[in-house]
Amino acid sequence: MLLICSSFGNKVASLVIFTSCVLISAAVGDLKEAGSPVQGDDEHSQKRPLDLSEVVFVIQSQKNSFHVQRAEARRSELLLQAADLTQKPPAVLLLHSLSDNEGDWSILPLLPYFSANFGKNSSWMMFLEEETNVKVASLLQMLQRFDRGKEWFLGKPLYDRESTIIHHYAFADNPSVFKYPDFAAAWALSIPLVRRLAKRVREEQLKSDFTIDLKHEIALYIWAEGAGPRLTAVPELCTELEGSPRARHCVTTLSTYLPLCGDPVKKEDIFIAVKTCKKFHEERVPVVKRTWERHAALLEYYSDYADPSIPTIDLGVPNTERGHCGKTFAILERFVSEAVPHTDWLLIVDDDTLISLPRLQALLGCYEPSEPVCLGERYGYGLGQGGYSYITGGGGMVFSRAAVTRLLGSGCKCYSNDAPDDMVLGMCLNALGLPVTHSPLFHQARPEDYSPDLLAHQVPISFHKHWNVDPVAVFDRWLADETEDDTEDDTWDAGADGPHRGGAREEL
């Protein structure tokens, strides 16, 4: 929720970030000095072979039809491998279907459910994303190394090179000291740890604040300032592409770095609204024009001042220091009016958002515009007590026409012009029962704010903020492709220095 013509966040978010920063920084010493409740691979692992039925797979699925289809295909593939092993099939759960609680994607509220249903006869909970391939037989061999009677938190570790706002500036003195799992590589919890965490969730109400980066926040919850285990690195949990020579030792791999589903959406089918204000006409708008505007067929700049040289459109909504809800809802109204061409998709971005429109066109080819699709980087507010999800605005908010029509038809409105637009939209979507669809390829912050190992296996669609960076250089490195105008011929490879042309991609 980074807002135009304002500093980062609002007063509530700032208080949360400040408090978290103080508490976590104070705990760095504990992390450095305190030993983990569990050590390395246990030399006395139980000799009894691990049966596949003792592993519960949880696919971190979503309610949108495209994601349901992908998750069901992943479940079928896992069960097919189980059949080949002639073992009793494991439980394979789809996260989105376990309850109607909006906050279940944050996983922590579901721990009591996992403990109650699988705490007696299972040994491991294995979490994976829709695009994560698993070699089931190799997975069993890997898990056999760890004593299933102890507390384990296994995964591929990520760490921050510098303290970052998306992690509330955690461990500011030495950000690299804290490791958290790369969800794309899959991650695992032993059942003894699940049972203890579930007891904690039942006895201590989950905090009602912001969920920004789930993988980091889950690792913090498990670590509990030294009371719980740290993440144990497992080299077989990988994010290499399936079939890559580098994936020979891997238990998990990825199918693709950028989901593709046939032909990209035509650029004439996407209407783009850029939110700006007079203050930034000379500072930010030229960056948009120099980088990604040339790939847009239909784009308008919305400001508090009509400047014909850009041009900008004054929607009649006064500029506010933060929030800009009034401006965003005016954009939604304009999108469904006859003032602009009729398109299937609406993209709303800030004037300091950097975005690859060809990659967005490719991604949108996976979604059905007749469905109410609300796509971007998903955040949550108060998920432990029900709460709601929202698309954080700085990374870009994408809506199908069906979603905009439902939103406006519901009568949901801003409670003030300076209300946080992305959060108000999230409340509206939650009231309507419309899901927020998450893509990790949208980014609310700068590349510097993310672990390099995470970005190495992404083909990012957007980044946000010009603070302390050269935005044109950021675009050229992370978002520009050699022939962006021809998305059907573009291929990308995610290397150590970020994505670039020339690597393989897979169509789904």
| Cβ neighbours, 10 Å, residue 378 | 25
Distance CA 185, CA 291 (A): 32
Nearest CA among 458, 469, 265, 258 for reference residue 357: 265
Identify the pLDDT of residue 324.
85
Residue 262 has pLDDT above 70, yes or no: yes
The region of weakest confidence among 18-32, 65-79, 319-333, 384-398 is 18-32
**What is the number of other CB atoms lying within 10 angstroms of the CB of residue 406?**
19
Q: State the pLDDT at residue 319.
A: 76
Buried b (16+ CB within 10 A) or exposed e, 10-26: beebeebbeebbeebbe
From residue 285, alpha-carbon distances to 289, 294, 315, 353 in Å are: 6, 13, 17, 10
In this structure, what DSSP letter does residue 93 have? Answer: E
pLDDT in tens, 7-51: 334 433 443 444 444 444 444 444 543 344 444 444 444 578 999
pLDDT at 31: 52
- Cα separation, 387 vs 342, in Å, equals 34
Is residue 490 pLDDT above 50, yes or no?
no
Q: What is the mean pLDDT of residues 267-292?
A: 97
Tell me the average pLDDT across 65-90: 95
In this predicted structure, the answer to whether residue 497 has a pLDDT above a threshold of 50 is no
**In this structure, how many other beta carbons lie within 10 angstroms of the beta carbon of residue 424?**
20
pLDDT band at 77 (very low <50, low <70, confident <90, very high): very high
- Residues 189-206: what's their mean pLDDT? 96
Element holding 405 (H helix, E strand): helix 401-409
Mean pLDDT to the nearest integer, 70-99: 95
Whether 281 and 305 have beta carbons less than 8 Å apart is answered as yes
What confidence category does residue 503 fall into, taking pLDDT thresholds of 50, 70 and 90? very low
Angstrom distance (rounded) from CA 491 to CA 107: 34
pLDDT surpassing 60 at residue 505:
no
Per-residue pLDDT of 100-157, as tens digits, reads: 888 899 999 999 999 999 999 999 999 999 999 999 999 999 999 999 999 999 999 9
Locate the DSSP E strands across 216-269: 232-233, 237-241, 252-254
87 — pLDDT class (breaks 50, 70, 90): confident
Higher-confidence residue of 237 and 205: namely: 237
CB 103 within 8 Å of CB 187: no
pLDDT (tens digit per residue) in 326-372: 999 999 999 999 999 999 999 999 999 999 999 999 999 999 999 99
Residue with tokens 């950097």: 354
Predicted pLDDT of residue 209: 87
Give the C-alpha separation, 234 to 66, whole Å. Answer: 31
pLDDT band, very low/low/confident/very high, at 384 (cuts 50, 70, 90) = confident
Give yes or no for residue 183 having a pLDDT over 70: yes
pLDDT tens digits, 308-332: 999 999 999 877 767 689 999 999 9
Q: How far apart are CA 429 and CA 435, in angstroms?
A: 7
The rounded distance, in Å, linking the Cα atoms of 25 and 3 is 27
* Residue 247 pLDDT exceeds 90: yes
Hey, how many other C-beta atoms are within 10 angstroms of the C-beta on 246? 10
pLDDT score at 460: 98
Per-residue DSSP letter, 415 = S
Rounded Cα distance between 182 and 314, Å, is 43
The more confident residue out of 271 and 39 is 271
**Predicted local confidence at residue 40, as pLDDT:** 43
Q: Is the pLDDT of residue 73 over 80?
A: yes
Band of pLDDT at residue 496, cut at 50, 70 and 90: very low
Three-class SS of residue 268? helix
pLDDT tens digits for range 457-466: 999 999 999 9
Give pLDDT, residue 483. Answer: 56
**201 by DSSP, 3-state: which?**
helix
DSSP 367: S
Mean pLDDT of the chain: 88
Matching residue, tokens 């900008």: 312
Burial of 429 (0-12, 13-18, 19+ CB in 10 A): buried
Question: Model-level pTM?
Answer: 0.88
Token pair 């699988």 in the structure block, residue: 118
pLDDT band (50, 70, 90) for residue 280? very high
**Residue 323: its pLDDT value, please?**
64
Q: 41 exposed, middle or buried (CB, 10 Å; 0-12, 13-18, 19+)?
A: exposed
